[in-house]
Structure 1
Amino acid sequence: MLRLEVPHIDDPGAGARTIPDIVPQRQRRGQENDHHDHHHQHDRCATHRPDRGETTMSDHPRLVSRRDVLRTSAAAASAATIGTATGFVAPAAADPVKIRYATGGGIGPNEMETIVFLDHLKQNVLKNYGKAYTLDMTFTRGTPEAATLLASGQVDLATLSFSAFATMIAKNALPGGMTIVSDNYQDGHPGNATNTFFVPNDSPIKSVADLKGKKVGINAFGSAVDLVLRVVLKKNGLDPRRDVQIVEVSFPNMAPAIREKRVDCGVLVIPFLPTEAAKGDLRPLFTGGDAFGPSSVIFQVASNAFLKSNQAAVKAFLADYVDGLAWYYDPANRAKAIELIADFTKSPKPVLESYFATPRDYYRDIKGCVPAAAIQKPIDAMLEEKLIDQRVDVSKYLDLSLLPFPCAT
């Protein structure tokens, strides 16, 4: 099977390595993703093949190639009919279109499609599900794997990071191309949570310049936070290849690694960010906003071939996605929303209450809109870092006209 790799930024032997006692290369599995939630369970729609390490969530289970998917989760909840926001209802179809979807490695609030399409919402909120389309959702390790599934024709839509997207475009990896159709979440917005690099309170590191000769933890080479680190280091006169040692640490293990001094500095993302920061023994050093300002980290893309043949189904899917966002952000639904997410992710309700859909959460446009500039800036940084060999003009691949509400230009 074709496997698309987001290239490592580091040259071999340039100081980048994996810390074996934290996250061995062959044991990383779901922890090397671009996102972070690590709770996985199976619901009645999940199909698991223990001989191949595969799990898919689908109304019509299917098999995918070995190592394509991780153990995953889904949850069902009791029903209470709720109104929706868009009012868009697709014409009934004799046979709903099956949309094969690859997640970007996250689960729960940091990747909203994983909770928008839970059974409770399918039954009570999403007007088009089961009529215009059904969803075959594959949970991946991260956006590079989602990109591989998209490039090999095994899925039709996917959540991609800007780095995975730009790599696919630069390599012309998907015959016929692809289109960005909706945002997922954005980082670096003033007044909202932002991915943050921390040091211990008692650390002598007081500025980015003090990281020279130190060990810094990120989740995976070539990930969004890896690029943030390198841009901020360069802005402060440090060479990422020579002046610091960058190591891979899974997101669930990052805070313990910082506290135990296995790394001098490490990045925390939601859902770990609010919980670990609240303990008071870690000090922020810099953020994703320091690198790019407001920027889109992950977004939804569709294969152009699938979009051409199934535009109505994609439009119905996006209408339901936006209705799902509106439902989760409606204060009237908060108790039920927290219950659903807690059941799905196995996260404590008080933790979810502390940040989800508040200013302590990532910024999300609840209409699914994203400006081209929010994706362009980090991709241009990829070109500067020689991760891609040509400029990618995001505006040529962005089409938000299928969303139910107009987006500001």
Structure 2
Amino acid sequence: MPATSRRHFLALAAVGATAVACGQATASGGGTGETKKLRYQGWAGQVTLPELAEDLGYFGDVKLEWVGNTISGPQDIQSAATGQIDFGGAFNGAVVKLIAAGAPVQAVISYYGVDAAAYNGYYVLQDSPIHAAHDLLGKKIGMNTLGAHTEAILDIYLQRNGLTPAEIAKVEPIVVPPVNTEQSVRQRQIEVGVLGGVLRDKALATGGIRPLFTDYDLLGAFSAGTYVITKRFLKQNPTTARTFVTGVAKAIEWARTSPREDVVARSVSIVKKRGRNEDTAALKYWKSTGVAETGGRITDEEFKLWIDWLVEHGDIKAGQVKPADLYTNEFNGYTASAAAAVSTAPSPSRS
């Protein structure tokens, strides 16, 4: 991994140390009663699963309080660990790193993943000479952030295709805003661009690009990221935590089982109601959450891959953390009876 990237990823360690001191002091939920308000960061022009769950009525008297938007998963979970917000979500490798560094948080539910409909592709121009992993030496790969999902996938791809650590160090991941990635590839400012969702679909519709590989090709279907909450919050607010996690689980299954046009229509409705002057055009391209397990339940396998990857790179020590140390399904009450309730959620008008 390039030195600049590794410094970015290792920066989570410093945040973890801060979180040990700050997270316990600032997390919500003090006093005799449980909090009914959950502070969170959103994503501009997108609808998160908690926002969907609240709109579907799955949170009851628990309310979300939006405090602003985030730009990356690592930033979001750092904010959760230090108590600036009550939950945050990120790629599972970043979650492993943060907890290994001492942050007092636990993963409680998966919220995004990879499948045949929800994936990231590593795209090159149609006439690019890049056709294999070794062709990436000395090349720039544009992605939304370093030290997270897209860089980890790139690293695994390079390893599995036989590149040595010295060769991998010659591949240059760089940060490019997602909205600029396609243009950067077409203008040959970078050789490879990571595209997903609406940006991928729009670029493919324009033509002239092809995938070198995708994360779905590489690893198949898997849950890739989880929401984390501080252990202090979970201890002081177990009922609220259960309402939140179970509500998100119901939202996952509602999105999985509802007609795609209903999910899109509700998402558009949510964005319009919150009045943040956001463009809803991208929402029509939604296809899947990509969450693998029913109700977003977490399994050991979803963390073991990234633990092994971090150990191999020397970012954590062998045995430093185990999957069971990182997550809990205790607050996920999604059951067969919950599934029946999910199917009764009304759909918004598509007008």
Deviations 1:349-405 (A, max 9, x none): xx5444434xxx634556122322023212321221233345431223322132222
- Counterpart CA distance in 2 for 1:308 and 1:342 is 33
TM-aligned CA distance change 1:144 to 1:353, over 3 Å: closer
Amino acid at match of 1:245: E
Q: Secondary structure at the match of 2:302?
A: helix
Amino acid at match of 1:108: Q
- TM-superposed CA distance for 1:195, in Å, is 1.0
Deviations 1:114-136 (A, max 9, x none): 4444xxx1xxx31543x2x2222
- Counterpart CA distance in 1 for 2:309 and 2:234 is 29
- 1:400: which partner in 2? 329
Structure 2 portions without partners, runs of 5+: 9-31, 337-351
- 1:11: which partner in 2? 3
- 2:156: which partner in 1? 231
Deviations 1:281-337 (A, max 9, x none): 110101113544433322111211111111111111223223333444422834632
RCO comparison, higher one (Cα < 8 Å, 6+): 2
- 2:113: which partner in 1? 186
TM-aligned CA distance change 1:341 to 1:207, over 3 Å: farther
TM-aligned CA distance change 1:102 to 1:164, over 3 Å: farther
- Counterpart CA distance in 1 for 2:270 and 2:249 is 17
- TM-superposed CA distance for 1:184, in Å, is 0.4
Aligned pairs (5 A) from 1:11-50:
11-12=3-4
Of stretches 390-399 and 250-259 in structure 1, the one that deviates more from structure 2 is 390-399
- 2:209: which partner in 1? 282
Deviations 1:232-280 (A, max 9, x none): 1122233454432322211111111111111111111223122222222
- 2:46: which partner in 1? 108
Higher helix share: 2
TM-aligned CA distance change 1:318 to 1:151, over 3 Å: closer
TM-aligned CA distance change 1:207 to 1:313, over 3 Å: same
Amino acid at match of 2:315: L
Deviations 1:54-94 (A, max 9, x none): xxxxxxxxxxxxxxxxxxxxxxxxxxxxxxxxxxxxxxx98
Task: From 120, 125, 139, give the equivalent of 1:195.
Answer: 120
- Counterpart CA distance in 1 for 2:248 and 2:121 is 28
CA contact (8 A) 2:46 2:283 kept: no
Task: From 311, 314, 320, give the equivalent of 1:386.
Answer: 314
Task: From 274, 287, 297, give the equivalent of 1:356.
Answer: 287
Are 1:99 and 2:38 an aligned pair? Answer: yes
- 1:205: which partner in 2? 130
- 2:348: which partner in 1? none
- 2:230: which partner in 1? 303
Q: Secondary structure at the match of 1:108?
A: coil
Are 1:159 and 2:89 an aligned pair? Answer: yes
Amino acid at match of 1:405: Y
Q: Secondary structure at the match of 1:217?
A: strand
- Counterpart CA distance in 2 for 1:194 and 1:214 is 22
TM-aligned CA distance change 1:244 to 1:96, over 3 Å: closer
Are 1:317 and 2:244 an aligned pair? Answer: yes
TM-score of the pair, normalised by structure 2: 0.75
CA contact (8 A) 1:126 1:323 kept: no
CA contact (8 A) 1:295 1:378 kept: no
- Counterpart CA distance in 2 for 1:151 and 1:96 is 17
CA contact (8 A) 2:107 2:326 kept: yes
- Counterpart CA distance in 2 for 1:379 and 1:221 is 18
CA contact (8 A) 1:216 1:245 kept: yes
Are 1:220 and 2:149 an aligned pair? Answer: no
CA contact (8 A) 2:141 2:191 kept: yes
